[in-house]
Each structure stands twice: as C-alpha cells, then as structure tokens.
Amino acid sequence: MNESFNLKSAKFPKIMTELSHSNQFLKFFSVSALVMTLLTLFVLALTVDTPPIVLTLSETGQILATATTAKPEEHTRAAINRYLELRYRWAPSEVKKNLELAKAFILPKNRKSFESTASGVVKFAIEKGVTQKVYLSPLQVSLPQKTAIATGDRITSIQGLKAASDLKLEVSFESGPPTQDNPWGIYITKEREE
C-alpha cells in the first residue's frame, strides 16, 4: 500500500493573493487620484478668488496706470483737449482728415456751420500750404457755465514762413450721448477766439 499521492496546491489562496496585490495597487492609485483632485480644487479656488491682472495700454503701447473714476472737470478737459488738438493742429496733408474727426465733437444741429467754416480752412490750408500747431496751457473748465478757456501759443507756417501768436479761445460745450469717435459725450456748441 505504498501509493504515491500527488498533492496539488489549492488555487484559491494563490488567486486571493494576486487579487489582494492588485487591490493594493488600485487603492494606491485611487488615493493618489483623490489627493491630486483635492489639490487641483484648492488651486482652482485660489485662482478664481484672486482678481485678474489687467494691463491697459495707450495707442503708443505704454502701460497706463490704473485710474479711479475721473472727475467731471478732468473728463471734460480731456474731451475739449482732443477736440482742440484735431481742430487746431494740422498740416496740409491731414487738415481734411483732422477736421472730419473734429466734427464728432459738434452737435448735429451745429454741423452745417462747422462744415462751412472747415471747408474754408481746408481750402486755404491746401492752396497756401499752411501748417498750424497749437501748444495749450491747461484748460480752465467751468462746469456751471459750461465753458472752457484755452490759452496757449499758435504757430502757423505758410509756405515755410512761420509766425507765432497767442491763442485765447472760449469754448462752450454741452453733454450728450457718447459715440465711438467721441467717447466723452462732450459736444462743442460755440467757439469764440479773442
């Protein structure tokens, strides 16, 4: 009775060992994915809570400082300075374009008068080769009277012959709807040169 027995190892414990080993890997992977998700949510919460960085640039590419809301006098001063720059600073090649842009600062009811004056200036500037530049002192703005007084120097060049003169201008204005060419919404109603 000596019989030999072949003992076979049970497969169930081996399968359980492999399964528990793979479960350990899955548990580790799940925990690391959870940690990464929580870290991402934390970084996202910090990023959403911080205000964005906004860089404002001028037309020349310079960084403009962050400004608070402009005072009405400064707002009006900026609009009138832009108008005076377009109206009184030009060369024969750009006089027509500048006066067209300045027309955005004139109310529609006053445009006919402005256009007739501007056409005379354009014709004279092109025929005689006139260049005009103005250098203004800071404007004196009076909001209650709706007037601004501009003083400065005017340099006019007619066919290369230059002449300098003082410029004193009283400008009356009104508020109106802002447009693309006139974002300030300040419109010139009358100019009186002294």
Give the 3-state secondary structure of 116-139.
HHHHHHHHHHHHHCEEEEEEECCC
Distance (Å, whole) CA 81 – CA 184: 11
Banded pLDDT at 48 (limits 50, 70, 90): confident
Q: Parallel, antiparallel, or unpaired: how do β-strands 161-175 and 56-57 relate?
A: unpaired
Nearest one of 145, 142, 150, 147 to 85, comparing CA atoms: 150
Distance (Å, whole) CA 110 – CA 88: 18
Q: What is the pTM of this model?
A: 0.64
Average pLDDT, the chain: 86
Q: Which pLDDT tens digit goes with each residue over 66-78?
A: 656 668 888 899 9
CATH value of 71-193 in 3.10.450.230, 3.30.450.20, 3.40.50.300, 3.20.20.140: 3.10.450.230
Q: Which pLDDT tens digit goes with each residue over 134-143?
A: 999 999 999 9
User: Can you tell me the mean pLDDT for 92-104?
Assistant: 92
pLDDT at 54: 78
For residue 133, pLDDT over 90 is answered with yes
